[in-house]
Each structure stands twice: as structure tokens, then as C-alpha cells.
């Protein structure tokens, strides 16, 4: 019951509006290797239009934009606060080939086949209907192009989870609580790589590859439309 309430709160827009800034301050240190890996995994050329679904503070979106200055990046998030945070960071970094707007993964406000690549990191577990989100991603992606979906690994080993927690550091008295929350509410209620691959297959993606990084307990699924 209590756990179900926490999961509901985890996925609520108001939660991201309120507590997004805490996540944003802490997460870069924990995920920078994942962002870097995904930035390299996205296949783009100079004129590519790339969408980041559930972009949050925009760390991955801005990394891609900075690396591919003639490509065009768009990050969407259902939280207005997260969109503002990402826009602030974009301005601070002086990046012009990227923008952020509010939008819901359940109903992407774009025409069919609009994008040459799509990324989504740590967002799919929050969606009301992850299968519908995957269908939407497939709909707005151009044929032959790739989507890279990454999410907390439901099958994370205890040792890897403990190493991940050390990256948040700072408040040691908080660690047991953080461990409980990550184990039972975040990782434990997420997806395995096979589950994300199945969602992608059911959404019509034809080639699907999965991988994991030793340094970061997230699954990475790369799928071609
Ligand atoms: C764990 S954060 C990940 C943020 C970012 N991708 C990153 O890797 O740092 C999840 C993000 O997904 C967003 N989100 C959750 N449900 C969403 C939905 N249905 N549509 C769009 N964004 C959503 C949240 O507002 C939040 O910013």
C-alpha cells in the first residue's frame, strides 16, 4: 500500500515539478558515463533532428547538441519545471542548436517519421503506459532510424547498486533510506533489458540490441525502426 503510493508519487508530474531540482543536482555525477556512452551510440549526421523524450535537466540532450553543432536537438518533458531547468542550462552553456518544450511521452506532439534519432534515459518507467510510449517513439521516428532507450536495470546486482549509491555521497546518514528507495521503488519497479526489448519489438522495431555498462546499472536498448 505505502509502496504503491510511493510508486504513484514517483511517476507524478507534480513530483518532478517539486523535486526535479534535487534529482538534477545529484544525477550528473552518477550518470555522466551513461550520458557519454549514449551520446556516442546515437547515429547522427550534420542535419539530423534528434528527440530526447523525458529529457529532465537536458544533460544528454545538451551533450549531443554540443558534439553535433549542425544537428538539431529537441528535448521534451512533461514537467514545466524540468523544461525550465533544461532551458536555463542551455542558455548558461550558450548552446543554440537545441531547445526544450513541454510534452507527454504518451502522446508526442509531432508528425509521423519526423525525427532521425530518439533517445530516452531513465524516463520510461515513469510513463503511465510504457508500451504506448514506445509506439509513439516508433511513430515519430523515420524508417531505418534508431532509438536508444535506457532505464534503471531491474536486475541490478546488490554490489552494483551499492557502488551506484556511493556516487550520490554527501549525506551518509541518508544512505540506508536511499538504498531502500532505489532498491524497491526505482530499480525494483523498473524494467529488465528483455522487457524493454519486448516493448520495442511489440512497437514494431525490427532490429534490437541490448547492452549494459560496467560503471552504471542501467540497461541500454538500441532499436531500429
Ligand atoms: C529520472 S528523470 C530522467 C531525466 C533525464 N532523461 C536524465 O537522464 O537525467 C525522468 C524524467 O522523465 C520525465 N517524465 C516522466 N513521465 C513523463 C512523460 N509521461 N512524458 C514526458 N516526460 C516524462 C520527468 O519529468 C523527469 O524529468
HEC-encoded secondary structure of 159-202:
HHHHHHHHCCCCCHHHHHHHHHHHHHHHHCCCECHHHHHHHHHH
Please give the model's pTM, rounded to 2 decimal places: 0.96
Ligand 1 centroid–CA 160 distance in Å is 23
pLDDT at 69 over 70: yes
- Please indicate whether residue 88 or residue 45 has the higher confidence score (pLDDT): 88
Look-up: residue for cell 518533458? 77
What mean pLDDT do residues 66-76 have? Answer: 95
pLDDT for position 172: 59
Percent of the chain at pLDDT > 90 equals 85
Ligand 1 centroid–CA 58 distance in Å is 10
pLDDT at 37 over 80: yes
Query: Which of the residue ranges 1-10, 77-86, 112-121, 181-190 would you say has the lowest mean pLDDT?
Result: 1-10
Identify the CATH number of the domain in which residue 53 sits.
Answer: 3.40.50.150
Q: Is the CB of 190 under 6 A from ligand 1?
A: no
Q: Is the CB of 115 under 6 A from ligand 1?
A: no
Q: Whose CA is nearest to atom 15 of ligand 1?
A: 126
pLDDT for position 167: 86
User: How many structural domains is the chain composed of?
Assistant: 1
Q: Is the CB of 122 under 6 A from ligand 1?
A: yes
**146-160 per-position pLDDT tens digit:** 999 999 999 999 999
113 to 19, 110, 138, 146, 161: CA distances (angstroms) = 34, 9, 8, 12, 38
Q: Is the CB of 127 under 6 A from ligand 1?
A: yes
Q: Is the CB of 59 under 6 A from ligand 1?
A: yes
Q: Is the CB of 104 under 6 A from ligand 1?
A: yes
Atom of ligand 1 nearest to the CA of 127: 19
What mean pLDDT do residues 23-40 have? Answer: 94
| Residue 108 domain boundaries | 2-224
pLDDT at 46 over 90: no
Amino acid at each position: 500500500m505505502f509502496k504503491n503510493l510511493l510508486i504513484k508519487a514517483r511517476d507524478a508530474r507534480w513530483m518532478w515539478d517539486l523535486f526535479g531540482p534535487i534529482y538534477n543536482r545529484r544525477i550528473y555525477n552518477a550518470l555522466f558515463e551513461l550520458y557519454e556512452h549514449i551520446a556516442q551510440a546515437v547515429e547522427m549526421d550534420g542535419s539530423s533532428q534528434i528527440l530526447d523524450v523525458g529529457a529532465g535537466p537536458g544533460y544528454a540532450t545538451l551533450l549531443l547538441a554540443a558534439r553535433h553543432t549542425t544537428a538539431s536537438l529537441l528535448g521534451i518533458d512533461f514537467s514545466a519545471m524540468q523544461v525550465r531547468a533544461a532551458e536555463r542550462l542551455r542558455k548558461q552553456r550558450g548552446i543554440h542548436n537545441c531547445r526544450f518544450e513541454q510534452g507527454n511521452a504518451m502522446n508526442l506532439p509531432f508528425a509521423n517519421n519526423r525525427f532521425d534519432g530518439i533517445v530516452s534515459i531513465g524516463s520510461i518507467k515513469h510513463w503511465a503506459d510504457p508500451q504506448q510510449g514506445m509506439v509513439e517513439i516508433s511513430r515519430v521516428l523515420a524508417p531505418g532510424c534508431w532509438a536508444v532507450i535506457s532505464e534503471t536495470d531491474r536486475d541490478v546486482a546488490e554490489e552494483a547498486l551499492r557502488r551506484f549509491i556511493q556516487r550520490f555521497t554527501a549525506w551518509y546518514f541518508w544512505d540506508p533510506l536511499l538504498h531502500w528507495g532505489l532498491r524497491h521503488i526505482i530499480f525494483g519497479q523498473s524494467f529488465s533489458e528483455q522487457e524493454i526489448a519486448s516493448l520495442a519489438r511489440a512497437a514494431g522495431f525490427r532490429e534490437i540490441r541490448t547492452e549494459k555498462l560496467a560503471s552504471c546499472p542501467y540497461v541500454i536498448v538500441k532499436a531500429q525502426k
